[in-house]
Amino acid sequence: MKNRVGVMFVGLCGHLSTTAMAGAMALAKNLSPGTGMISELANFKNIPFMDMSDFIFGGWDIRPCYDSRQALKDIGFDNIDDLIKISKRLETIQSQTFPGILLNAGQAISDISDQNHVFKTESLSKAVDKIKEDIENFKLENSVEKIIVINLASTEPPVADTRQLSTIESICRLIDENQVDNIRPSLVYAYAAITSGCAYINFTPSDAGFSQGLVDLATKHNVPVMGSDGKTGETLVKSALAPMFAARNLEVLSWEGYNILGNMDGKVLQNKENGSTKIKSKDRLLPHILGYNPHSRVTIDYVPSLGDRKT
């Protein structure tokens, strides 16, 4: 039997998950070059990476997936033959989406949800058990031993007091005492994944989805964790330019960042609570690189006509 690995996305129906799955399928079928894949660089040539066809995809969402061919067109697939080869497989995966968790997700995320695709409970422990059950069922149905859980969900509002996420004991207490107001859904997914022995990646800036307490929990369960935020746009540019200025001993007096984007991410970030989480993630980078804190401001605006593009 081939050594296959399961990949379960939180936000399976979103553009990021669709892009990741479609990209892996295209690479597996030799429909696309490895451009943009750092695993294709010379530094990694002697590492025996898995074949792209050995990743088995699944996951959760709080809303239905829309037409797979249209989704692929939205992320840039315009070759009809390629669309046909990939869309059927994508449709099969997304038809098996597990209902997601919406506990204390905030108004913006609740507004984009569909109650038919939400696991309805007011109990944190039941929500954790449900995610763990989904992971186990996915393992059995797809004959995989290892699972990677990747959080690609919409950015959540910040947690009121992140100190409550700083230790394993405090996180367990939040769950055991059902302190729903002090958590976000990303904590439920992360806790369930780690305690199920799954590797976990928080690709979002949501602070509930990655904390010192979760890192300690992962160490206890001997599973790898990574986070936070994917750093694919403005923050990527900052992280490339700021070290150059520092290396040239050039003082940065101010840094103004303006982001416009048009997909579901942009729609959710219109909400001030959700947007503040993203801005906080972006703001922490410059002081870390430069060693001082210049005047800086980040603005994020939603422009629907941009679709899946951002500037």
In a domain, 311, yes or no: no
Strand stretches in the chain, DSSP E:
5-10, 55-61, 98-99, 146-151, 199-202, 225-227, 254-261, 295-302
For residue 261, give the 3-state DSSP assignment.
Answer: strand
In a domain, 269, yes or no: yes
What's the pLDDT at 234?
83
Q: Across the chain, which distance is largest between two alpha carbons, in Å? A: 59
Give the range of the structural domain holding residue 62, as residue numbers without chain letter. Answer: 5-227
The whole-model pTM stands at 0.91
158 and 267 share one domain: no
- Overall number of domains in the chain: 2
CATH number of residue 262's parent domain: 3.30.360.10
For residue 295, give the 3-state DSSP assignment.
Answer: strand
Buried b (16+ CB within 10 A) or exposed e, 160-193: eeeebbbebebbeebbeeeeeebbbbbbbbbbbb
In a domain, 149, yes or no: yes
180 and 261 share one domain: no
In a domain, 264, yes or no: yes
What's the pLDDT at 85?
77
**How many CA atoms lie less than 13 Å away from 194 in the CB half-sphere?**
29
In a domain, 284, yes or no: yes
What's the pLDDT at 227?
85
293 and 182 share one domain: no
201 and 253 share one domain: no
Instruction: List the chain residues with pLDDT less than 50.
Output: 1
pLDDT digits (tens, 9 = 90+) for 237-272: 999 999 999 999 999 999 998 888 887 778 888 888
**In this structure, how many other beta carbons lie within 10 angstroms of the beta carbon of residue 226?**
13
Tokens of 184: 């976000």
265 and 207 share one domain: no
Distance CA 22, CA 90 (A): 7
221 and 247 share one domain: no
Buried b (16+ CB within 10 A) or exposed e, 100-131: bbbbbbbebbeeebeeebbbeeeebeebbebb
Distance CA 155, CA 268 (A): 7
CATH number of residue 142's parent domain: 3.40.50.720
147 and 213 share one domain: yes
